[in-house]
């Protein structure tokens, strides 16, 4: 029976939480202030602490800071009735597993409690797991095996503006146990949707997922980053749109490196492309996308626009997180002056700023210096990587695309799913 310490200066809240958690078979102890909480952590050794941010004398952030000095520190979920993204950032940097806001539903509370206890147990098991020798084939060589499952080493948080909604938002990346996949969840309601092609809702200028009461837009850059770092299990808590950051995936790379990557048991079988699948692209300059057999995974993209862009081609061969970070992640979203009015009329690009996308008129790039000569083609590869991560499994094959966008990516991905499951 796991022990949960509830720390809140309001007795009614402690009583309510005790009732809910006790009904789930958990042992619940209580503290009305920070000093009492620290004493109980040392004497009772709880596995989990539900910690209110705003308390007299010693507040929750200070308690969290002191808990980092404990030799067997518990998982901590911060609770706040009027928190903000800055408080969540501070708590996460200090090692909090997650951050939830009052009022919260019982379902949302139990979901985060169960995840925190599972993650603590799995980490404890991993520390004592035996080393397993690789399985050998008849000729003595190591047999091919599934791609190992990975999650984040700890929770991390970022903030920014949605590219299309323009709304200031944040996201929290949390670890998940094996076999869960990548899941988006609403920060407030707890509603969720899997990052899977079956839940793609729209592909106009960005990829949007929808399931039940959860809709989340512009998921492709973050998903590409998680996929290229080998993250197979993670919970992404967000509102309605993933923040654009600087228009690239570079900040997401830094976020994952801050969290660390944790190896898990089990594995994910890759999809191995055995014969070509093609959509369009019959002529040398026609729009089209195809996937064909290959030993590893690569994407070649050809972009063709009128001047001043012209023709750009780039080939990316995936060799892990470092190759993605160096070659593809820095490539930013781009847009044309001539399209701005149309995008605005559709309610899109409201969050476009001079520092989070490349703006181009009929003669030149207006607001920045390109990071690569073919930065626009590389950004298209970033989109391809993000969209194809929605298969939910690693791919072994070569994608060749020309003049395509999100709708083409998803159309081909659905063909792959039909054939390989």
Detail the DSSP E strand segments found in 41-83. Answer: 48-52, 75-80
Please give the Cα distance from 21 to 15 (Å, whole number).
10
| Cα(207)–Cα(184) distance, integer angstroms | 13
Question: What is the C-alpha to C-alpha distance for residues 110 and 195, in angstroms, rounded to an integer?
Answer: 22
Beta 271-272 vs 156-161: how paired, if at all?
A: unpaired
Burial group, residue 280, by CB count within 10 angstroms (0-12, 13-18, 19+): middle
DSSP 198: G
The string of DSSP letters for 273-307 reads --S-EEEE--STTS-EEEEE--SSEEEEEEEEETT
- Helix (H) or strand (E) holding 380, with range, is helix 375-388
Q: What is the 3-state secondary structure (H, E, C) of 211-275?
A: ECCEEEECCHHHHHHHHHCCCCCEEEEECCECECCCCCCHHHHHHHHHHCEEEEEEEECCEECCC
Number of H helices, E strands in the chain: 11, 23
From CA 81, how far away is CA 88, in angstroms rounded? Answer: 12
Pairing verdict, β 288-292 and 277-280:
antiparallel
DSSP run (H or E) holding 386: helix 375-388
Q: Tell me the angle at which helices 406-420 and 375-388 cross, rounded to the nearest 10 degrees.
A: 40
What is the Cα–Cα distance from 144 to 355, expressed in whole angstroms?
A: 45
Q: Which residues are catalytic?
A: 406
Contacts of 260 (CB under 8 A, 6+ apart): 152, 153, 154
Which residue, 4, 172, 8, 190, is CA-closest to 92?
172
Q: Is 95 left (phi over 0), alpha (psi -120 to 50) or beta?
A: left
- How far apart CA 380 and CA 270 sit, in angstroms, is 23
Asked if residue 258 lies in contact with residue 156, where contact means CB atoms within 8 angstroms, the answer is yes
């Amino acid at each position: 029976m796991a022990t949960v310490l509830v720390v809140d200066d309001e007795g009614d809240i402690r009583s309510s939480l005790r009732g809910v958690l006790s009904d789930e078979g958990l042992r619940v102890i209580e503290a009305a202030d920070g000093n009492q909480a620290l004493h109980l952590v040392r004497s009772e050794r709880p596995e989990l602490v539900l910690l209110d941010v705003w308390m007299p004398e010693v507040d929750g952030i200070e308690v969290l800071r002191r808990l980092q000095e404990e030799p067997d520190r518990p998982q901590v979920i911060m609770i706040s009735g009027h928190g903000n993204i800055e408080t969540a950032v501070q708590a996460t940097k200090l090692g909090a597993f997650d951050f939830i806001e009052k009022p919260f539903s019982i379902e949302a509370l139990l979901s985060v409690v169960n995840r925190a206890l599972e993650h603590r147990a799995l980490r404890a098991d991993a520390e004592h797991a035996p080393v397993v020798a690789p399985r050998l084939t008849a000729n003595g060589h190591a047999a091919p095996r599934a791609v190992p499952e990975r999650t984040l080493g700890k929770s991390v948080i970022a903030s920014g503006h949605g590219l299309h909604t323009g709304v200031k938002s944040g996201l929290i990346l949390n670890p998940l146990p094996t076999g869960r996949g990548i899941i988006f969840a609403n920060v407030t309601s707890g509603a969720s949707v899997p990052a899977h092609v079956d839940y793609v809702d729209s592909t106009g200028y960005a990829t949007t997922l929808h399931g039940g009461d959860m809709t989340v837009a512009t998921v492709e850059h973050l998903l590409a980053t998680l996929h290229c770092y080998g993250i197979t299990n993670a919970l992404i808590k967000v509102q309605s749109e993933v923040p654009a950051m600087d228009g690239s995936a570079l900040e997401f790379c830094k976020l994952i490196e801050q969290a660390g990557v944790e190896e898990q048991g089990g594995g994910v079988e890759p999809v191995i492309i055995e014969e070509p699948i093609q959509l369009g692209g019959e002529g040398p300059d026609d729009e089209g996308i195809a996937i064909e057999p290959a030993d590893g995974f690569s994407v070649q993209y050809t972009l063709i626009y009128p001047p001043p862009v012209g023709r750009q081609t780039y080939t990316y061969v995936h060799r892990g997180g470092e190759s993605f970070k160096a070659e593809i992640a820095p490539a930013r979203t781009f847009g044309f002056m001539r399209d701005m009015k149309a995008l605005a009329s559709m309610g899109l690009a409201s969050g476009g700023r001079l520092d989070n996308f490349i703006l181009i008129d009929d003669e030149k790039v207006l607001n920045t210096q390109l990071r690569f000569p073919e930065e626009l083609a590389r950004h298209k590869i970033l989109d391809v990587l993000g969209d194809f991560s929605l298969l939910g499994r690693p791919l072994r094959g070569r994608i060749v695309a020309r003049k395509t966008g999100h709708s083409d990516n998803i159309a081909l991905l659905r063909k792959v799913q039909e054939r390989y499951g």
